[in-house]
Amino acid sequence: MSLKGKVALVTGSTSGIGLGIARALGAEGADLMLNGFGDAAMIEDLRGGMEKECGVRVGYSAADIGKPADIAAMVAETQKSFGALDILVNNAGIQFVANVEEFPEDRWNAIIAVNLSGVFFGMQAAIPGMKAKGWGRIINIASAHGLVASPQKVAYVAAKHGVVGMTKVAAIELANHGVTVNAICPGWVLTPLVQKQIEDKAKAQGTDEETVKHAFLADKQPMLLFSTPEQIGALAVFLCSDGAKTITGAPLSIDGGWVAQ
């Protein structure tokens, strides 16, 4: 229980990678503020289940990460109900694929608002409290697409490269305040976000999902394996540990060799 007494807020933790990270931080004893969309009963099940499983306090905020005022209110609510915010994981993210010349304006704006500006406003709201305590961990979930590009993902790649950049800026500013700021850059993780891309591609190509899964992996990763939300969670736990005290400003790949090529 290395994180007992710490308070963690994980954005987009009702599904996929965020849920895996929240579970991992909770298992180490951190109190949790969950966030994300979904059916109210499903979210309450998750919240109550985690409270029981981990023996920690678990709250939920319905903040829309595309809205700066919601983010500020969520951070304030976390600090009020738990007494502090020690660990911020900026994870909420969305995807849309189309060529540059066909990319819809509203999808561009939505992806930039959630995947890029949401990370900025999250850090801005959380940093003063962390600085005051002299301890904090900020973990931004970027992507292999924060380091290299793929076609048809212009907004996502722009946002994730931006996340890696702002992670470095914040890390430098906070270097002597006990606060580390890092970016995790996953390759393929089989979550609802990727499942939808697989289903769309299988439909478009008139093929089955297993074929598309293999093609997705073979196209990008030397290692033909999806990473799991549990593995991303384990990396987040490590970044919160004393062993990671001097790791800051780093984009950390967990991608089966994707960007090694």
Q: Which residues are tagged catalytic?
A: 156
- CA 203 – CA 103 distance, rounded (Å): 20
Task: Give whichever of 96 and 238 is closer to ligand NAD, judged by the CB atom.
Answer: 96
Task: Give whichever of 83 and 210 is closer to ligand NAD, judged by the CB atom.
Answer: 210
- CA 201 – CA 63 distance, rounded (Å): 31
- CA 226 – CA 92 distance, rounded (Å): 19
Q: How far is the CB of 141 from ligand NAD (least distance, A)?
A: 4
- CA 111 – CA 88 distance, rounded (Å): 20
Task: Give whichever of 91 and 182 is closer to ligand NAD, judged by the CB atom.
Answer: 91
Q: How far is the CB of 132 from ligand NAD (least distance, A)?
A: 26
First to last CA, the chain: 37
Q: How far is the CB of 45 from ligand NAD (least distance, A)?
A: 14
Cβ proximity of 56 and 29 under 8 Å: yes
Cβ proximity of 230 and 162 under 8 Å: no
Residues that bind ligand NAD (CB under 6 A): 11-12, 14-18, 35-38, 64-66, 91-94, 114, 141, 143, 186, 188-189, 191-194
